[in-house]
Amino acid sequence: MGWGWRGGWGNPFWGGGTYVNQYIEGTIIIDFLDPAKKILFWHGQGSGFNLDSFNKREQRLYTGVKEILAQYPPTVTAAR
């Protein structure tokens, strides 16, 4: 397991608290922030990416980011 730090983006600016999440090693996290509204409006993540080895590391990172961004924009489903 790995650790990820996450706080309000530019903590004093956002005024948000700081918290720690535990992630599996090899997790890539992409957050989209709206600075005008001071909110996180999309969070994407994927895991299982072996980034420890330098062999083709850039290609694995590119593939991981591409897979995560394929989930954006999120689909909206009607509440039942």
Query: What DSSP letter does each residue of 17-79 carry, written as one string?
Result: -EEEEEE-TT-EEEEEEETTTTEEEEEEEE-----SS-TTHHHHHHHHHHHHHTT-SPPP---
Contacts of residue 20, Cβ cutoff 8 Å, sequence gap at least 6: 3, 4, 5, 6
Higher pLDDT, 72 or 14: 72
Q: pLDDT band for position 37 (50/70/90)?
A: very high
Kindly state the average pLDDT of the residues 15-39.
80
Structural domain count of the chain: 1
Q: For residues 32 and 70, is the Cβ–Cβ distance under 8 A?
A: no
Is the model's pLDDT at 2 over the cut of 70?
A: no
Domain membership of residue 49 (yes or no) is yes
pLDDT at 74: 80
Is the model's pLDDT at 80 over the cut of 90?
A: no
Domain membership of residue 15 (yes or no) is no
Domain membership of residue 31 (yes or no) is yes
Domain membership of residue 1 (yes or no) is no
pLDDT at 30: 94
Domain that holds residue 59: 25-73
Kindly state the average pLDDT of the residues 7-32.
66
